[in-house]
Chains A and B, each alone.
Chain A
Amino acid sequence: MRATGLRTMLGVHWRTHRSGTLVWILALIASMVGTAAAVAGLYTTPEKIHTYAAAVTTGSALVAINGRVEGIDSLGGVIQDESGFLMALLLPLLGISLVAKVTRREEEDGRLEAVLGGRVARYVPVLAGLIDASAAILVTALAFTLGITFCGVPAVRSALYAASLGGLAFVFAGLAALVAQITRHSRGVYAWSLLVLTVAYLLRGVGDVTKTWVTWLSPLGWAEKAAPFGAMRWWTLLIPLAVGGLLCAAAVLIAGRRDLGSSLVRGRPGSARASAWLRSPVGLATYIHSPAVLGWLAGALIIAGMMGALAKQFVGAVTGNPAMADAIGMSTAHPEDGFVAVTQLYIAIIAMGYAVQAVGSLRGEETAGRLEPRLSGTLSRMGWIAAHGLVIVTGLVIIVAVSSVVLAASTAWSMGTPLHLARVIGAGAAYLPAELLVGGLALALFGLWPRAFPAGWAVFAIVAFIAFLGPGLKLATWVLDLAPTTHIGNPPLGTVKALPLIVLSALAALLAATAAVGFRHRGVPRG
């Protein structure tokens, strides 16, 4: 087949998505190279590296989370281990989002139709999307190689490490392209691809902990088995290439054969009337935000449940191993509290991500043109934003509360200790002001400069990076202080002071008020 219009399509993608793609790539490179540099600055002697290696390989808890790193007793190994969790999440996400943006999203919004009406063959948009994604992945991998080598790791090993991560992103790009052909909405593409990622993560964890072949079932396992800082198995790169290639081929083939806008999963008819609840401003806001609440809640529950189930191993490893306790920021005196504290921080970051996305869907309502008719009725702008604020905050509280309960229950089950419900929920609740602050910032962007809303995601990324890796990488205090999570006091291990919580809450309220005033005084819709 001749790829009619491929060049046009690549040009269209480049023009319409370049800034988003560049931001993605830069953020990834910054977090990878930042981690590598911080590790290199921290583990300056073989002894220090050895202590770290000994610490994280004791017990199976950290192995389950970050993976079993071959050759951990080296600078590269420490880098791989430190960034294990984050990269296992971000690289697949890179592949998924790059592809979803230019495939199902375009089709859903009707832009694909205009393109296919021109001199562009049916399968070409998908192909072009995959070429874009592959190019972005390649650039990322090259930058990884350079950055990590620069930090003092042998170039060949950096290259293999970066290639294994690139392969991981490529598999998920292919997967997303295929899923985009069989679901109706870009939301579905994310949902299904992230589900596969979760399963891959769990398989890799089980395989690594049990030291069995199960690891080989997971794309994350393929990247790990390349062992860039150990045996250097170059041939393992063939697996993601082959699997990703097959997924891409299937996606392109289906795209060439199916009808525009059609997919295997179809919607069914529904009710002809809206309930009184749906008609109310709060009811409609609940309808709009519930997918985000459910999605992020699922993520938080997976983390809470998984960590809880591993609680015994964690606490076992930490008791009598101060080095490990130090490596993951736990205390030997109260290992269980330290464990809950670490997990609650993870849940707080997830809740924060939800808050930013929920505010983002307000912007989505506006750009889709649904805000205009909403505000041309009897609902005032204040009423609209208040209804949404109420629903968003309720969703936030639900996410924090439910995952705290699950964390408390699974920890108690795994440890065989009594349930510390109040203590665990209290720790989760203490993070609410920090989550509200970031959500409030996103809301202020929406109210004042709606076009700058993506900056809200940048803030989230910085906070998440500092919260996850800052203490481990021993970043400067002023950097750590930038993240609102730092000021909470690491409950339940540390003590929570009232003043920071009050200040954070007051700031959040101030931002929300600014947002409301800004929204009251700006034009709608603003493109």
Chain B
Amino acid sequence: MSTAQPVIRAERLTKTFGPVRALDGLDLEVAPGEVHGFLGPNGAGKSTTIRVVLGLIRASGGHVELFGGDPWRQAATLHERLAYVAGDVALWPGLTGGQCLDVLGATQGVLDETRRADLIDRFELDPTKRVRDYSKGNRQKVALIAALAADVELLVLDEPTSGLDPLMEQAFQEVVRTRREQGCSVLLSSHILGEVEALADRVSIIRRGKTVTTGTLAELRRHTRTHVHAVTVDEPAGLADAPGLTDWSSERLDGHIESRFSIDADHLDAVIGQLHHAQIHTLTVTPPSLDDLFLRTYDEEVPLHDVPGLEQPEEALR
């Protein structure tokens, strides 16, 4: 992680809409040059956070900084350095796609003409069609191209690929990677785990307006569990009550012992040692899947403090 000033920093953000508490002490930090995945179930407060960060709405409490400045007071000046794709893309139905692109581009500052032309090609957009005659995916492309072609330091993308086909999704990922290499930071709110996995350097997962966890994908992986399927000659000693091990089952099969269990990353090494002592016949280690992590974190049934092995910033504060 860079020590330079973060592009976005939000601390203990709260936002209430009448009786609804949309944000409830949320933390978010995006470092320069990183692609930051922003995840959470529907209604968790992602779009609300983004609007607060952009100074479109004002936080009820907490502290937010954009490029070190106050987005509510200096919105227009700070916006020079970023481009935004809103969650619900709305365009002027009577204008053509190309005209909307230019209007949005002018709104965001300066469009890089070569990039604009290149992206129109890449996303196979017909810029002469009226927006009202576009399909949903094509409307989405207009907003995306306008943001991706802008000469800015930060891209704020709220579910940018909803409605894109897999080929376009691929193109999107390539372009974001290129922009990142050029030094652009990205805040990427998304429901597509594959996309986050492919692009994000770090992710923040929020639920009910609170940050549940944040870190690099590798760190998150460390906090998830590895599934192990081992067939050994002897009965492995002391497995059942090894630290960090759960879901253990064992049965005798053709004179071998077949064990299945899951284990957290910190204790993997010790357990593999025990298996080794019991003479490994076959061994399958399934790496932790992010899907598991997300499903678990998203699950409303699990209380926040029960999500195992996750950093809990707000717990630490209490």
Contacts and interface: CB of A to CB of B under 8 A. Distances in A.
A119 interface: no
B104 interface: yes
Given A271-B98, A272-B96, A278 B56 contact: no
Contacts of A375: 56, 75
Contacts of B105: 279
A471 B130 CA distance: 49
A379 B76 contact: yes
Interface stretch (B78-86, B243-251, B305-313): B78-86
B128 interface: yes
B252 interface: no
A524 B99 contact: no
B43 to A, nearest CB: 14
B129 A274 contact: no
Contact of B90 (A368, A379, A383): A368
Interface in B16-74: 51, 54, 56-58
- Tell me the dominant secondary structure on chain A's binding face: loop
Interface in A270-317: 270-274, 278-280, 284, 287-288
Interface in A246-285: 267-274, 278-280, 284
Contact of B107 (A268, A288, A379, A381): A379
Interface in A505-527: 521, 523-525
A284 B102 CA distance: 11
A388 interface: no
B289 to A, nearest CB: 34
A273 B102 contact: yes
A378 interface: yes
A267 B99 contact: no
A366 to B, nearest CB: 10
A283 to B, nearest CB: 9
Interface in B73-126: 75-77, 79-80, 82, 84, 86, 88-109, 126
A370 B79 contact: no
A373 B82 CA distance: 12
Contacts of B93: 185
Contacts of B76: 377-381, 383
B133 interface: yes
Given A272-B99, A272-B128, A274-B95, 10 more contacts: A270-B96, A271-B128, A274-B98, A280-B106, A373-B90, A373-B104, A373-B143, A374-B107, A376-B156, A378-B77
Interface of B: 51, 54, 56-58, 75-77, 79-80, 82, 84, 86, 88-109, 126-130, 132-133, 143, 156
Closest 6 CB pairs of A and B: A377-B107, A369-B90, A523-B57, A274-B102, A272-B98, A279-B106
7 contacts: A270-B99, A272-B96, A272-B128, A279-B102, A372-B90, A376-B56, A377-B109
